[in-house]
Structure 1
């Protein structure tokens, strides 16, 4: 029956409504379609893709979808044709009730990129409901004394349809006593009345059966009927009368129970029980009225017994009766309209149209994060809502159209400072007092590679013993990156630098993951004292960011070099031959052994001792200077050939040592050598050897002058270096000419009782020439010994290089800190 009715209605509406389905317009950015109710599933509403200016492929690619404010989905999109179609049965009466206009708002959401469009579908009524009466049979009691013209209100028929499809007329079956009168109330509702047109005679006919029919204005016309049984009552011929035919009052919603809304007043001209009046609701009062209101039978006071809610029912219209106690009883009738006034009792509701999306930290200002709308069930100012974002959040709201907003970024974001935001949005209505509600929207910030790795130190110093095994782990550098994931995972590498024209990567290797630095070779302090390795940390972002740090690798000396004897020279054989006069006295300088150690610091401190001798009572060796002197005067009994074995040791650990053999020939008539600096000759000897005397004075003057020069340089260097224990003299460049082999470095080192000066020739790294002068606190004189630990040149060649460098060189001083083991 339902399907037949729908089909029949549609057959009438189709030629009239289908042109409206294809019509649409955009009003203030909205699309509107018009369709009749009860369309079949799959019926086309309109081409939504075309109306939005989208192609068929765009529908799927941009993820077009329909969101309904009603919470149910009556419509869907045909992705193959771009058409908006009906997805479920639409009953206008259940959606909009008695409202003359039925508009279904739709939200058309396009996800990629995010857009929101507004559409409305107007549902037009079809005549699919017939008028109905609440009761199929009614009893009406009428006194026989009732004069013609008396009216009796009848039950109104209800039709869920609206407009011309609603109830349009009533009809009454033909009879001689009653006629039908239609009364139109203020709200336009038509109420049937039964009017007595001829006096009744109970003795002739005590009951009358009438059929009341209600007809609507649809095509075809639908109707409904109810049976009215009129019972004729005798006597009591005055009915109560209300002081007003209709009452209209207003009451605020949420009024407390027991509140008095209205006092009814009716009078009856009869006396006794026939004139005693009681008040009642009309016979056909709806249940919704009975749940909310109550009438006191004795006083006629109407009070509130339920919870009035403007958002549920805005007005209550019903009939009241005043009945006497006569026999038969008579009743007076009046209508009551109670309007419910709105109060601000509903807080605004914030609804997310589209869930918030994560945002890149480098997103431009104005990037859309989420779509939302706000609802308020109240009316007037109570339903006007203002939306705002709490302070302290880099977001703002932009209004799309009425009550629809976009949450967009309002400032540049930084994930390293804040990785996510719980954005607090407040909706406040304009009521008094104002009501508000809040919603928290979680917005995650996605990382962008905008931070380079940062090392834990500005530079690193690493000490490595020489002769280390290749592959030794030296040190670990650490870099941190505030970014996330691959953007914050540094990879370590060596910058392609060169040392002595050899890539740094030939000497060192670094673990790319943990930054551990390894040696690729065994190092020799005597060749290289310092490496500067540049380490780079690069993250794995796109594009990658990097930073560099310098690792200073200091090579520490080990005692791995044996002292080398440079004087007396033993190139021609294993034994050095010396001559000495038999006239030598005690303290006579026989010879001076000079040795050098390629190591540094304590490892280079050299001491001398007499290991073996032909006559140990005749000679002694100075522990620090290596001077071999006579302990006593030579006697006639001493052998003419004396063999001395001298042991030379360094101060390292383990101790390295070597020996030198000196063969001394005692000869008659030999003069003492000029190398003995002490003027111990007698007055007679000085007179006989004036030439020797002059030579001695010249050598002494040169020695003193050299000593004074060294002391002045050392004092000046010490003052400039503020206590530094080493000083360098470096040759400056002159006339733009640079020669690294013409540098002179003089280093004064102090360690315990031993003092020595190193004179280094050549550049600082190669140390191609080195000389040392040792000052012994045990020595009676300031004797200088020049040594060369790092050169294969003999002693004379070293002296010639030093002598050639001094005259035409400009020297500068610089202080160096000696490294002491």
Structure 2
């Protein structure tokens, strides 16, 4: 087959094969390739006509090496049309990306040169257009054709860790191979060409504790006994190197800070096996008397403590709680201390972790025990009464100086200082009682009257003779026994009226009486008329046997003109021994009444007699009302 025939077959082959290439440059056809001309706006028929004319562009695949540092323009390749006979009649023209500014063409020979350094990472290829024109007519002798100049990569970029530096955390005592963190580096070189962007990871600092997977960048532990309490932080340097780690490759590094997190792998331990504290015997119940603390090298919840008292000498007398802020054991007093009774206490305290990790129990018990000794300090205490509250009883009729009772106090200290007694006068302002300062005997100092003060609450003081500032107190409650020293009297001042038309045996009023005494069996009062009152035969009295009496008419038809006011003398007696009685006079005024017994008029002449029997204040009030009604000023 002739030369032109070969070109035709090759052109047709390229028409069908070139679109199947995924790469624009179809590496298999880079040498002496014949590119089918394409014109703007041309169709299949035009392409076929060119095939029939057996014309086409001829050039090699174009590559330019990035970062070329030569002083002269870099030769890229040659454009050539098979129409060009080498007689100078063909002129080559270059246009498109970078034409003139980056790429130049010799219009006579078609030689292309690059005039600037190129960076593949900024632009990987350039698309240009080529024309071949007749030098005389300036007509196209070949259709305009597109071609590409590819910038060929060199290894000029080192790997970079965009997310570094890294911080990773892993639990202490983790098994070998535990994942900590993944580091990732990037390389902007061409991953499809050579090994410039193929990375390998390695650790260049900290490799005795950690490793990194070469291909994935996963950092893992290589020791199983890393102890946070020994070292809690590690600084690693991880390197990423391109060219698969081969010599001449570029590398980048990043730091990885690995923090060991805590696990409960340490038991609590008391710094000392024995503790001793001093506690004043005057310390109040519920107060903290001592603090102890077991140390735990762990952190947070892994170091939380529980404490408990193990021995009977401490149980009941003390309790122990954990301070949530300091993890101290707070020993709290539960019963009052007394140096003279028990000068010291000795008991054991156990400390244990509140949260226990079962994985580490094989290391030993997670508890510790210490002995606590509490020494009770003697305090100069005030005198103590045998009874803080005493009840005493005395008759209200007791004479001044009568014996009421006795109190006793003593110094609880070993010094046994003598005690002096006194009465706090704030509790006995009127000085009804006095006390012997040596014996503690209480006697009356004034006459007593149960009807005035029935109950006395006094405070007795006991002070040490050797230290008067030490004062004890006791309460003495004195109750007065009642004697029958008060006669009964009417409950109120009665005002009685009787109608002129009253009938015999008619009830005028029911009266009652009171007695200020309080007999043990209650009041039982008796009412009676004096002999003189009984002989007048105007009125009579009936004792109702319930501490009341009824006043009744003895006869009927009382007349105002005969007598306006009648007097009735009543004797009221109590049931005491001896019995006391009082004589009381009742005034009964005669009034004009209607048929139903309602008063209509009482004679004014009876008013002065009535006022005489009233108190001055009551009489004045009645007169004021009368004058107001009559309009007298």
- Please classify the TM superposition score into its range, dividing by the shorter chain length: 0.3 to 0.5
Bigger radius of gyration among the two: 2
Could you tell me the TM-score, scaled by structure 2's length? 0.43
Higher relative contact order (CA 8 A, sep 6+): 2
